């Protein structure tokens, strides 16, 4: 469809016949996300608030439909790349966010860590030095002041602000650690996401939300006991990238609800449902 035909379709959004408007809207939706830049141009050129609202709704629907497709494709991919999953979560709020830009920013974080973390050091010293880079030089920290801000679940916001919630900080930390060749993975603790350094001979845990505090399996057992929960292997062992992205989506839903943005919360729930299984739907 050429530009003239698109312009003609958009002009019909102001038709007095609602049937015509419905058919035109359905037709534009079939054109996909590629027409969004043109719709944005038409929004700027149109001074009718009613038409502008219709264009805004079309842009939002086109973006959301594309995002659903991308989440399903990611879910069905063999590796379920963690960074791509985190990027898709952030794209919900930032439609123009470029994945390559996030990769470049993470590459700089890795380079800063690579300069300091030496492969011949023992594991505890490697993590301590990584902590000094991550929390000291790069100034990452827990966002305790605005803990429920949606931005805490969006990787681009966390990289820029250097503040996040437990899981977002853990994701950036573990992506850096894994690129350094360290066996660091996520662990799904109740109410707190942490990391584990795990090999065949050694395992310990890292609380990134508490400036990389190192703790033991016994500490995890004590924590579970204090919550009056029965021990479960998932509280001690590495979780998958899929489980991490699901948990990030649940956090984002909770944040939007607490901010009173219930429509956004419902849309993110739809995205979660696409990649959820069984009893994984709870927030």
| Number of domains composing the chain | 2
**Residues facing residue 192 across a β-bridge:** 189
Domain boundary (76, 106, 129) is at: 76
**65 and 98 together in one domain:** no
Taking a C-beta distance cutoff of 8 angstroms, is the pair 171, 86 a contact? yes
**247 and 112 together in one domain:** yes
Domain boundary (61, 76, 91) is at: 76
**32 and 155 together in one domain:** no
Q: What is the pLDDT of residue 220?
A: 96
**11 and 96 together in one domain:** no
**137 and 189 together in one domain:** yes
**252 and 136 together in one domain:** yes
**228 and 110 together in one domain:** yes
**64 and 111 together in one domain:** no
SS3 sequence, the chain?
Answer: CCHHHHHHHHHHHHCCCHHHHHHHHHHHHCCCHHHHHHHHHHHHHCCCHHHHHHHHHHHHHHHHHHHHHHHHHHHHCCCCCHHHHHHHHHHHHCCCCCHHHHHHHHHHHHHHHHCCCCCCCCHHHHHHHHHHHHHHHCCCEECCCCCCCHHHHCHHHHHHHCEECHHHHHHHHHHHHHHCCCCEEEEEECCEEEEEEECCCCEEEEEHHHCCEEECHHHHHHHHHHCCCCCCHHHCCCCCHHHHHHHHHHHHHHHHHHCCCHHHHHHHHHHHHHHCCHHHHCC
How far is Cα 18 from Cα 266, in angstroms, rounded to an integer? 27
Closest to 12 measured CA to CA, from 49, 44, 54: 54
**12 and 92 together in one domain:** no
User: How many Cα neighbours within 13 Å face the side chain of 164?
Assistant: 28
Average pLDDT per consecutive 10 residues, the chain (283 residues; last block may be shorter): 71 72 79 80 74 84 93 96 98 96 98 96 97 98 93 97 97 98 97 97 97 97 95 94 97 96 97 76 34
**141 and 271 together in one domain:** yes
For residue 177, the tally of other CB atoms under 10 A from its CB is: 24
Classify residue 157 by burial, with Cβ atoms within 10 Å: 0-12, 13-18, 19+.
Answer: buried
Q: What is the pLDDT of residue 14?
A: 67
Q: What is the pLDDT of residue 22?
A: 78
Domain range for residue 53?
3-76
For residue 108, the tally of other CB atoms under 10 A from its CB is: 11
Label the pairing between strands 213-215 and 192-198. Answer: unpaired
**64 and 139 together in one domain:** no
**14 and 87 together in one domain:** no
Domain boundary (76, 105, 129) is at: 76
């Amino acid at each position: 469809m050429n530009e003239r035909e698109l312009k003609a379709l958009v002009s019909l959004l102001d038709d007095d016949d609602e049937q015509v408007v419905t058919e035109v809207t359905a037709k534009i939706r079939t054109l996909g996300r590629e027409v969004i830049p043109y719709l944005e141009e038409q929004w700027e050129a149109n001074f009718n608030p009613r038409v502008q609202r219709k264009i805004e709704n079309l842009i939002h629907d086109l973006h959301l439909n594309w995002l659903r497709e991308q989440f399903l494709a990611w879910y069905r991919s063999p590796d379920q790349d963690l960074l791509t999953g985190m990027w898709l979560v952030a794209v919900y709020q930032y439609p123009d966010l470029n994945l390559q830009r996030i990769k470049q920013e993470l590459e700089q974080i890795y380079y800063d860590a690579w300069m300091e973390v030496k492969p011949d050091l023992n594991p505890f010293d490697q993590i301590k030095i990584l902590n000094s880079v991550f929390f000291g030089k790069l100034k990452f920290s827990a966002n305790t002041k605005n803990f429920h801000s949606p931005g805490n679940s969006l990787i681009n916001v966390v990289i820029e602000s250097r503040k996040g919630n437990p899981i977002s900080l853990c994701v950036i930390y573990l992506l850096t650690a894994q690129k350094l060749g360290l066996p660091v993975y996520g662990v799904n603790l109740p109410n707190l996401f942490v990391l584990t350094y795990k090999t065949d001979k050694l395992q310990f845990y890292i609380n990134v939300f508490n400036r990389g505090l190192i703790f033991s399996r016994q500490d995890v057992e004590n924590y579970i006991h204090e919550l009056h929960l029965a021990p479960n292997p998932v509280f001690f062992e590495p979780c998958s990238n899929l489980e991490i992205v699901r948990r990030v989506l649940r956090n984002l839903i909770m944040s939007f609800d607490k901010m009173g943005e219930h429509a956004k919360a419902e849309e993110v729930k739809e995205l979660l449902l696409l990649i959820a299984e069984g009893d994984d739907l709870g927030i």
